[in-house]
Amino acid sequence: MISDSEGPAEGMKYAILGEDQSTPAEKLAQFQGEVDWGYLKPHFERDCLYFVDSSLEMTTVGEAMAGDDSAAVQAWLKSGDLVKIEGIHAFQWEDGKVQFEALVVSPFVLCRPLQ
C-alpha cells in the first residue's frame, strides 16, 4: 500500500472517465472501416443492419443514432435514405465480392457498398 507521503507511483497516468475531448464523429470513426459481406452477415441475421444512402455522411447517421435523435432517424427511414437490410439485399451480396463501408453504432451496424 502506498502511504500519503509516497504519492502516486512514477509514470502512472490518471484520468477521469468522460474527459475524452473527441467529437462524436471522431469517436465513431474508431468503429468505421471497410468490410466484406462475411463481416456484415451476422449483423443482418440479428436484424440490426442498415443501409445508408450515399447522399448522407455515415458519421452523421451514426451520431443521430448514438444520440437518440429519433426525428432524424425516422425522417431518413421515411425518405428511404436509411433502410433496414432485408433478405433481397443480402441475397445479392452472398457471393462475397462486394466491399462495404461500415460503421458500428451498437447494437446497430450501418453500411453501404463501396463503388
Classify residue 113 by burial, with Cβ atoms within 10 Å: 0-12, 13-18, 19+. middle
Q: 14-46, pLDDT tens digit by residue?
A: 445 556 677 777 778 788 999 999 999 999 999
Q: Is the pLDDT of residue 1 over 50?
A: no
pTM given for the model: 0.77
Q: 66-106, pLDDT tens digit by residue?
A: 999 999 999 999 999 999 999 988 998 988 788 999 999 98
SS3 90: helix
DSSP-H helix ranges across the chain: 24-29, 37-45, 58-66, 70-79, 87-93
Q: Establish how many alpha carbons lie within 13 A of residue 4's alpha carbon, considering only the half-sphere containing its beta carbon.
A: 0
The three-point CA angle 115-98-81 to 5° equals 55
The three-point CA angle 54-57-61 to 5° equals 110
Whole-angstrom distance, CA of residue 71 vs CA of residue 1: 53
SS3 76: helix
